[in-house]
Structure 1
Amino acid sequence: MSQIDIRHEHGKTPEQARVAIEEAAAKLSERFGMRSQWQGDTLQFNGSGVDGAIQLVPGAVRVTATLGFLLSAMKGMVEAEIRRVLADKLG
Protein backbone atom coordinates (compact mmCIF):
# COMPACT_ATOMS: atom_id res chain seq x y z
CA MET A 1 0.00 0.00 0.00
CA SER A 2 1.18 3.48 -0.86
CA GLN A 3 0.83 6.61 1.22
CA ILE A 4 0.16 10.15 0.05
CA ASP A 5 0.87 13.15 2.28
CA ILE A 6 0.41 16.60 0.72
CA ARG A 7 0.44 20.00 2.40
CA HIS A 8 -1.02 22.83 0.28
CA GLU A 9 -0.78 26.40 1.56
CA HIS A 10 -3.45 28.99 0.72
CA GLY A 11 -4.60 32.48 1.68
CA LYS A 12 -8.30 31.77 2.17
CA THR A 13 -10.37 32.21 5.32
CA PRO A 14 -11.35 28.98 7.10
CA GLU A 15 -14.88 29.25 5.67
CA GLN A 16 -13.61 29.82 2.12
CA ALA A 17 -11.18 26.91 2.51
CA ARG A 18 -13.99 24.61 3.68
CA VAL A 19 -16.09 25.48 0.61
CA ALA A 20 -13.07 24.97 -1.66
CA ILE A 21 -12.34 21.58 -0.07
CA GLU A 22 -15.95 20.51 -0.56
CA GLU A 23 -15.65 21.47 -4.24
CA ALA A 24 -12.33 19.62 -4.51
CA ALA A 25 -13.83 16.54 -2.85
CA ALA A 26 -16.74 16.61 -5.31
CA LYS A 27 -14.29 16.77 -8.22
CA LEU A 28 -12.17 13.92 -6.84
CA SER A 29 -15.34 11.94 -6.15
CA GLU A 30 -16.27 12.20 -9.83
CA ARG A 31 -12.80 11.03 -10.82
CA PHE A 32 -12.20 8.30 -8.23
CA GLY A 33 -15.69 7.41 -6.90
CA MET A 34 -15.02 8.55 -3.33
CA ARG A 35 -17.48 9.30 -0.54
CA SER A 36 -16.72 11.96 2.06
CA GLN A 37 -17.93 13.26 5.41
CA TRP A 38 -16.84 16.13 7.66
CA GLN A 39 -15.64 15.37 11.19
CA GLY A 40 -14.82 18.74 12.71
CA ASP A 41 -12.22 20.42 10.49
CA THR A 42 -11.32 17.16 8.73
CA LEU A 43 -13.03 15.77 5.65
CA GLN A 44 -12.75 11.98 5.81
CA PHE A 45 -13.00 10.22 2.45
CA ASN A 46 -12.96 6.69 1.15
CA GLY A 47 -13.64 4.85 -2.03
CA SER A 48 -12.58 1.90 -4.05
CA GLY A 49 -8.92 1.51 -3.15
CA VAL A 50 -8.44 4.75 -1.22
CA ASP A 51 -8.97 5.96 2.36
CA GLY A 52 -7.87 9.32 3.65
CA ALA A 53 -8.55 12.77 5.02
CA ILE A 54 -8.27 16.44 4.13
CA GLN A 55 -7.49 18.43 7.26
CA LEU A 56 -7.99 22.20 7.45
CA VAL A 57 -5.12 23.84 9.33
CA PRO A 58 -4.46 27.60 9.57
CA GLY A 59 -3.28 28.77 6.13
CA ALA A 60 -3.09 25.30 4.62
CA VAL A 61 -4.75 21.96 4.02
CA ARG A 62 -3.16 18.58 4.55
CA VAL A 63 -4.22 15.62 2.47
CA THR A 64 -3.30 12.15 3.68
CA ALA A 65 -4.35 8.98 1.93
CA THR A 66 -3.65 5.29 1.82
CA LEU A 67 -3.94 3.74 -1.62
CA GLY A 68 -4.93 0.13 -2.11
CA PHE A 69 -3.07 -2.31 -4.34
CA LEU A 70 -4.51 -1.20 -7.69
CA LEU A 71 -4.23 2.55 -7.07
CA SER A 72 -0.72 2.12 -5.65
CA ALA A 73 0.44 1.38 -9.18
CA MET A 74 -0.95 4.79 -10.21
CA LYS A 75 0.25 6.75 -7.17
CA GLY A 76 1.99 9.42 -9.26
CA MET A 77 -1.14 10.08 -11.31
CA VAL A 78 -3.39 10.16 -8.24
CA GLU A 79 -1.06 12.52 -6.37
CA ALA A 80 -0.75 14.79 -9.43
CA GLU A 81 -4.55 14.96 -9.77
CA ILE A 82 -4.95 15.84 -6.07
CA ARG A 83 -2.34 18.60 -6.40
CA ARG A 84 -4.02 19.92 -9.56
CA VAL A 85 -7.47 20.06 -7.94
CA LEU A 86 -6.07 21.73 -4.79
CA ALA A 87 -4.28 24.35 -6.88
CA ASP A 88 -7.45 24.96 -8.90
CA LYS A 89 -9.74 25.29 -5.87
CA LEU A 90 -7.39 26.91 -3.34
CA GLY A 91 -4.95 28.79 -5.57
Structure 2
Amino acid sequence: MADINIVQEHKLTPKKAREAAEQVAQKLAAEFDLEYEWEGDVLHFERSGVNGSLTLTKHKAEMVIKLGFLFGAFAPVIQAKAAEKMAKIFGATKSA
Protein backbone atom coordinates (compact mmCIF):
# COMPACT_ATOMS: atom_id res chain seq x y z
CA MET A 1 0.00 0.00 0.00
CA ALA A 2 1.37 3.42 -1.01
CA ASP A 3 0.74 6.49 1.11
CA ILE A 4 0.77 10.06 -0.17
CA ASN A 5 0.99 13.02 2.20
CA ILE A 6 0.67 16.58 0.87
CA VAL A 7 0.74 19.70 3.04
CA GLN A 8 -0.22 23.05 1.54
CA GLU A 9 0.04 26.23 3.58
CA HIS A 10 -2.58 28.92 3.08
CA LYS A 11 -3.73 32.28 4.42
CA LEU A 12 -7.44 31.72 3.94
CA THR A 13 -10.24 32.22 6.45
CA PRO A 14 -11.82 28.97 7.67
CA LYS A 15 -14.80 29.57 5.35
CA LYS A 16 -12.60 30.21 2.30
CA ALA A 17 -10.39 27.23 3.16
CA ARG A 18 -13.43 24.97 3.28
CA GLU A 19 -14.63 26.34 -0.06
CA ALA A 20 -11.17 25.68 -1.52
CA ALA A 21 -11.15 22.15 -0.08
CA GLU A 22 -14.55 21.53 -1.63
CA GLN A 23 -13.12 22.59 -5.02
CA VAL A 24 -10.19 20.18 -4.61
CA ALA A 25 -12.58 17.39 -3.63
CA GLN A 26 -14.91 18.02 -6.56
CA LYS A 27 -12.03 18.01 -9.05
CA LEU A 28 -10.44 14.87 -7.62
CA ALA A 29 -13.85 13.17 -7.40
CA ALA A 30 -14.52 13.88 -11.06
CA GLU A 31 -11.05 12.84 -12.21
CA PHE A 32 -10.68 9.71 -10.06
CA ASP A 33 -14.34 8.73 -9.49
CA LEU A 34 -14.18 9.30 -5.71
CA GLU A 35 -17.00 9.64 -3.17
CA TYR A 36 -16.46 12.18 -0.40
CA GLU A 37 -18.09 13.63 2.72
CA TRP A 38 -17.27 16.16 5.42
CA GLU A 39 -16.82 15.34 9.11
CA GLY A 40 -16.16 18.67 10.83
CA ASP A 41 -13.03 20.16 9.23
CA VAL A 42 -11.98 16.83 7.72
CA LEU A 43 -13.06 15.79 4.26
CA HIS A 44 -12.98 12.00 3.81
CA PHE A 45 -12.87 10.45 0.35
CA GLU A 46 -12.74 6.95 -1.04
CA ARG A 47 -13.27 4.57 -3.92
CA SER A 48 -12.25 0.99 -4.42
CA GLY A 49 -8.49 0.84 -3.79
CA VAL A 50 -8.17 4.46 -2.62
CA ASN A 51 -9.09 6.29 0.58
CA GLY A 52 -7.92 9.39 2.30
CA SER A 53 -8.68 12.68 3.95
CA LEU A 54 -8.13 16.40 3.62
CA THR A 55 -7.77 18.07 7.01
CA LEU A 56 -8.07 21.84 7.35
CA THR A 57 -6.31 23.80 10.06
CA LYS A 58 -5.84 27.53 10.51
CA HIS A 59 -2.88 27.92 8.12
CA LYS A 60 -2.58 24.62 6.25
CA ALA A 61 -4.43 21.90 4.43
CA GLU A 62 -3.10 18.36 4.72
CA MET A 63 -4.11 15.61 2.35
CA VAL A 64 -3.38 11.97 3.11
CA ILE A 65 -4.10 9.40 0.41
CA LYS A 66 -3.78 5.64 0.92
CA LEU A 67 -3.53 3.65 -2.28
CA GLY A 68 -4.21 -0.05 -2.55
CA PHE A 69 -1.92 -2.43 -4.39
CA LEU A 70 -3.31 -1.80 -7.88
CA PHE A 71 -3.16 1.99 -7.55
CA GLY A 72 0.30 1.97 -5.96
CA ALA A 73 1.95 2.04 -9.38
CA PHE A 74 0.16 5.33 -10.10
CA ALA A 75 1.25 7.00 -6.84
CA PRO A 76 3.65 9.50 -8.50
CA VAL A 77 0.98 10.64 -10.99
CA ILE A 78 -1.74 10.86 -8.34
CA GLN A 79 0.58 12.76 -5.96
CA ALA A 80 1.60 15.23 -8.67
CA LYS A 81 -1.99 15.94 -9.72
CA ALA A 82 -3.25 16.30 -6.14
CA ALA A 83 -0.34 18.57 -5.15
CA GLU A 84 -0.85 20.70 -8.26
CA LYS A 85 -4.57 21.13 -7.55
CA MET A 86 -3.98 21.96 -3.90
CA ALA A 87 -1.26 24.51 -4.70
CA LYS A 88 -3.43 26.13 -7.35
CA ILE A 89 -6.58 26.32 -5.24
CA PHE A 90 -5.16 27.04 -1.78
CA GLY A 91 -2.42 29.32 -3.11
CA ALA A 92 -4.69 31.26 -5.48
CA THR A 93 -6.18 33.49 -2.79
CA LYS A 94 -3.65 34.81 -0.31
CA SER A 95 -6.18 36.48 1.97
CA ALA A 96 -9.90 36.58 2.43
When normalised by structure 2's length, the TM-score is: 0.91
Runs of 4+ in 1 over 6 A off after TM superposition: none
| Map 1:1-91 → 2, pairs under 5 A | 1-91=1-91
Gaps of 5+ in 2: 92-96
Larger Cα Rg: Structure 1 or Structure 2?
2
Superposition CA RMSD, Å: 0.7
Q: Among the aligned pairs, what percent are the same residue?
A: 36
Contact 1:33 1:48 in 2 (8 A): no
Distance between the aligned counterparts of 2:78 and 2:38, measured in 1?
A: 22
How many residues in Structure 1 have an aligned counterpart in Structure 2? 91
Distance between the aligned counterparts of 1:82 and 1:11, measured in 2?
A: 19
Determine helix, strand or coil for the equivalent of 2:44.
strand
Distance between the aligned counterparts of 1:26 and 1:41, measured in 2?
A: 16
Determine helix, strand or coil for the equivalent of 1:38.
strand
1:26-68 superposed Cα distances (whole Å, 9 cap, x missing partner): 0001110001000011000001321000000110001011101
